[in-house]
């Protein structure tokens, strides 16, 4: 379903292969994080490297070097932001999440800064709502560790899709 939405959002564009890779990689990382509460470097790091190569290819085909530069800067910015958060509260945020947000920042930065901010907001919102629901359903306690990767990925994908051609401005 996510792949279909990405195809509808990006169409036959130069960046479609990169976005399909994002969906596949995100699905794998999300499942692993839910099951094991970790985002393995052996998947995340080569996956991010391939994402950079795919977006570089898209930039070269469609002359979108500014989008690639913004994506790289957004990835580094998101990485730095979550790194500070992880250092302040190491029990609340893992280093896998910090590396994952660099990947999502790369992709959302390709689309624009507003997509980056929206993705982060939606990711934290999704995590908060999930936590509240689990508490209300008595399936978790305040001390329960929840994987953050799936919420980051859902926020990133939602942000990318909300900015598509079918997006309706509230203004």
Is the CB of residue 120 less than 8 Å from the CB of residue 78?
yes
Per-residue CA distances from 106 to 4, 39, 71 (Å)? 21, 17, 4
Q: At what angle do helices 2-10 and 149-162 cross, to 10 degrees?
A: 30
Any idea where the domains of the chain sit in the sequence? 2-162
**Count of all residues that appear for the chain in the document:** 171
- In order along its 171 residues, the chain shows pLDDT tens digits of 888 888 877 788 999 999 999 999 999 999 999 899 889 999 999 999 999 999 999 999 999 999 999 999 999 999 999 999 999 987 778 899 999 999 999 999 999 999 999 999 999 998 888 877 777 777 766 666 777 889 899 999 999 988 765 555 554
pTM value is 0.88
């Amino acid at each position: 379903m996510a792949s279909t939405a990405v195809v509808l959002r990006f169409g036959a564009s130069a960046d479609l292969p990169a976005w399909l890779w994002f969906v596949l990689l995100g699905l794998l990382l999300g499942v692993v994080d839910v099951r094991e509460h970790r985002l393995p470097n052996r998947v995340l790091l080569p996956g991010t490297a391939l994402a950079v190569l795919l977006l570089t290819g898209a930039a070269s085909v469609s002359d979108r070097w500014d989008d690639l530069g913004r994506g790289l800067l957004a990835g580094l910015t998101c990485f730095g932001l979550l790194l500070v958060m992880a250092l302040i509260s190491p029990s609340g945020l893992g280093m896998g999440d910090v590396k994952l947000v660099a990947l999502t920042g790369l992709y959302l930065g390709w689309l624009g800064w507003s997509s980056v901010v929206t993705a982060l907001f939606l990711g934290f919102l999704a995590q908060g709502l999930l936590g509240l629901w689990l508490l209300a359903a008595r399936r978790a306690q305040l001390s329960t560790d929840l994987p953050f990767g799936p919420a980051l990925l859902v926020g990133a994908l939602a942000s990318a899709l909300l900015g598509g051609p079918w997006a309706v401005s509230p203004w």
